[in-house]
Structure 1
Amino acid sequence: MTTSVIGSAAPASERGDMSVEEVLALPLAISVATAARAFKIGPDKAYRLIEEGRFPAKLIPLGDTTKVATASAWEALGLH
């Protein structure tokens, strides 16, 4: 059984969520979609939070794309 980042009755793998182990194995910068998955929100909500300036992790603008600092996501999730 895989441990979920935020508690739930069903295993993380059955819900499509990321386990703590998966989150801690992420590279230094991740896509907004991956960060959204770790935060258990959809990508649309993640982009909305970014537009509102309320996304819970540090953003890294890279040309036409935006990445999320993994260490900042860990901190927001209480993992670091």
Structure 2
Amino acid sequence: MTPLSPRELDDLPCVVGIETAARALGISRTLAYKLAKEDRFPCRVIRIASTYRVPRADLERCLGVVHHDPPGDP
């Protein structure tokens, strides 16, 4: 599985599937599902019926991504 580039990470929607989160974290799909089922995924996972979703903000925090706001007008 090819990891996400920084650009791809910036383009993600507010909530992503577990497979996309796995790509961002550099882990396999199988391991991602295993960790989610065991409540050991490295960031918050939301279970909706039989699917898992990961908030982008939590994923970015887990990855140590820091966003800097552009300087505003004084």
User: TM-score, normalization: structure 2?
Assistant: 0.79
**How many residues were matched structurally?**
66
Deviations 1:15-59 (A, max 9, x none): 722111111210011010000000001110001111222101111
Q: Once superposed, what is the RMSD of the aligned Cα atoms?
A: 1.4
- 2:25 is equivalent to residue 39 of structure 1: yes
| Counterpart for residue 77 of structure 1 | 63
Moved over 2 A (4+): none
C-alpha distance in 1 between matches for 2:6 and 2:58: 15
C-alpha distance in 2 between matches for 1:50 and 1:78: 20
| Counterpart for residue 61 of structure 1 | 47
**Gapped regions of structure 2 (runs ≥ 5):** 67-74
- Aligned-residue identity in percent: 35
Higher relative contact order (CA 8 A, sep 6+): 2
The structure whose Rg is larger is 2
**Gapped regions of structure 1 (runs ≥ 5):** 1-14
